[in-house]
């Protein structure tokens, strides 16, 4: 790709996690694309259970795939060279350049001597990306002022300095305390780190921003850098969220007159974005639950993916949800499983190499006549497929470490390229599939809800819908941020 105009990288960092860095990064990717540049996203290290398969069949954080989509370019591992996928409270699977290099405890990972070597890998990925695209739109992680982690940081200000990025500090005013968080963050930076910060973005503002002009001036005096804008809190632009932290805040009750769909809220739930399109179907009320009552009240129960299928299944047995899921199936409700949820719905899960747990094997829910063996080698690939007897082409992706064996002969859920099949279709109301994103396809959604409603909805091009959302986000940022000031800082 030939770059006509070269720009310095720009980076968005935060006073804490969940301040909106990922969404604003996606918005700037779309802005630069609209303005005739060739942007690409970059996040040195991501910690998330939400991941995606690249066209090459490698794994990166889902947020960087979304940002690449906003930039209009294929996603690549250079956009997220290090991905940490927590397997439990103490350890995580480490993905380097798209491939798993094993599990490490937090202590092993953060205190090991190979952080310098890892940072070199990160810088190499950045340089490869910067040779192909401009500008690189970088994202930090969490807070940039975690003093106990800064010496081993490969994501935030150390990366900003290495790349020479014009850096903007984002804070979330909706959670409160922004004066202290902004001032404290800036005060704890080293001089060379502070020199990178070109401005502040106040995010998620409710009400009339003109009423905050005095507050803006106070922040600028305290922090010594300009506030380049105040982004309003929005609910009418749909951009995928990076983390599942907000799921518990979403509605969690059935609604009369809708097809009620309950997603079982697993502790190690992965790829929760599998249900974003389903949530936008006007016939559906989608909610997340970890209560028996929530499952019993649903028409359709979905057991989602999990980074630790065995441990989540153990927890489902302990809290009574396993019994509730089986009872929903026996009562004639629709029960489906995606990836780890598909594995759980089988008869047994075996883990002979103790990849996920010290438990060597565990009985599944016994709904589907399949068994799963967990393997070291991970399957990661994008997929084109047809659903059941439909001829409509669908898209999805696989990310899993298990091989599921079918007992007897069964109709597959999906037919993939190369004469491959996926999943186990037991009945109209019960099936399991490894395909993340299967519910992004209207033909699958229509089949899922058809036993419960005669209403039809207009088929929507979901990729076009997503593109429209990036455009709307770009308009919002242009209206509320000083984009010209950003350009002044990144023009070479």
Burial label, 212 (beta-carbon count in 10 A; 0-12, 13-18, 19+)? middle
Which bin fits 85, alpha (ψ -120 to 50), beta or left (φ > 0)? beta
Residue holding tokens 């800082």?
489
The H or E element that residue 63 is part of is: helix 62-71
Residue holding tokens 């937090």?
106
DSSP 142-205: EETT-TTTGGG-SSSHHHHHHHT-EEEEEEEGGGS-HHHHHHHHHHTS-HHHHTTEEEEEEEEE
Q: Which residue(s) pair with 260 in the sheet? A: 285
339 labelled catalytic: yes
- The C-alpha atoms of residue 205 and residue 263 are separated, in whole angstroms, by 30
- Rg of the Cα atoms in the chain: 23
- The C-alpha atoms of residue 16 and residue 141 are separated, in whole angstroms, by 8
CA distances from 92 to 101, 115, 285, 401 (A): 11, 16, 33, 14
The H or E element that residue 228 is part of is: strand 227-232
400 labelled catalytic: no
Q: Which of 29, 339, 383, 430 is catalytic?
A: 339
Residues acting as catalytic residues: 339, 436
């Amino acid at each position: 790709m030939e770059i006509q105009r070269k720009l310095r990288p720009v980076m968005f960092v935060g006073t804490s996690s969940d301040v909106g860095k990922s969404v604003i990064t996606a918005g700037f990717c779309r802005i630069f694309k609209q303005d005739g540049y060739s942007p690409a996203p970059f996040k040195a290290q991501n910690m998330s259970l939400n991941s995606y398969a690249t066209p090459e069949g490698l794994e990166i954080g889902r947020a960087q795939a979304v940002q690449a989509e906003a930039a209009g370019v294929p996603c690549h591992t250079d956009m997220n060279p290090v991905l940490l996928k927590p397997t439990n409270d103490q350890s995580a699977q480490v993905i380097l350049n798209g491939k798993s290099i094993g599990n490490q405890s937090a202590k092993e990972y953060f205190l090991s001597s190979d952080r310098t070597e890892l940072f070199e890998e990160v810088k190499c990925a950045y340089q490869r990306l910067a040779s192909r695209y401009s500008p690189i739109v970088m994202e930090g992680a969490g807070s940039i002022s975690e003093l106990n982690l800064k010496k081993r940081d490969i994501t935030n200000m150390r990366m900003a300095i290495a790349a020479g990025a014009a850096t903007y500090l984002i804070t979330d005013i909706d959670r409160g305390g922004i004066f202290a968080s902004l001032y404290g963050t800036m005060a704890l930076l080293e001089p060379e780190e502070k020199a990178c910060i070109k401005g502040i973005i106040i995010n998620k503002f409710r009400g009339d921003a003109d009423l905050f002009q005095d507050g803006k001036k106070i922040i600028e005096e305290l922090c010594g850098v300009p506030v380049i804008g105040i982004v309003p809190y929005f609910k009418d632009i749909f951009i995928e969220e990076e983390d599942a932290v907000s799921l518990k805040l979403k509605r969690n009750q059935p609604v009369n007159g809708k097809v009620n769909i309950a997603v079982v809220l697993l502790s190690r739930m992965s790829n929760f974005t599998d249900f974003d399109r389903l949530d936008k179907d006007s016939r559906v009320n989608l909610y997340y639950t970890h209560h028996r009552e929530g499952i019993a009240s649903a028409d359709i129960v979905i057991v989602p993916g999990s980074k630790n299928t065995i441990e989540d299944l153990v927890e489902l047995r302990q809290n009574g949800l396993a019994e509730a899921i089986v009872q929903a199936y026996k009562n004639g409700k629709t029960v489906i499983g995606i990836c780890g949820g598909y594995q759980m719905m089988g008869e047994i899960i075996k883990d002979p190499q103790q990849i996920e747990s010290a438990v060597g094997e565990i009985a599944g829910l016994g709904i589907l006549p399949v068994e799963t063996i967990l393997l070291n080698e991970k399957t990661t690939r994008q997929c084109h497929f047809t659903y059941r007897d439909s001829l409509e082409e669908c898209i999805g992706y696989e990310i899993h470490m298990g091989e599921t064996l079918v007992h007897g002969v069964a109709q597959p859920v999906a037919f993939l390229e190369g004469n491959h099949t996926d999943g186990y279709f037991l009945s109209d109301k019960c099936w399991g599939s490894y395909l993340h994103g299967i519910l992004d396809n209207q033909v699958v959604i229509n089949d899922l809800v058809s036993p419960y409603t005669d209403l039809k909805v207009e088929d929507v091009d979901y990729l076009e819908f997503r593109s429209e959302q990036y455009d709307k986000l770009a308009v919002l940022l242009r209206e509320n941020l000083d984009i010209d000031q950003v350009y002044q800082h990144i023009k070479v």
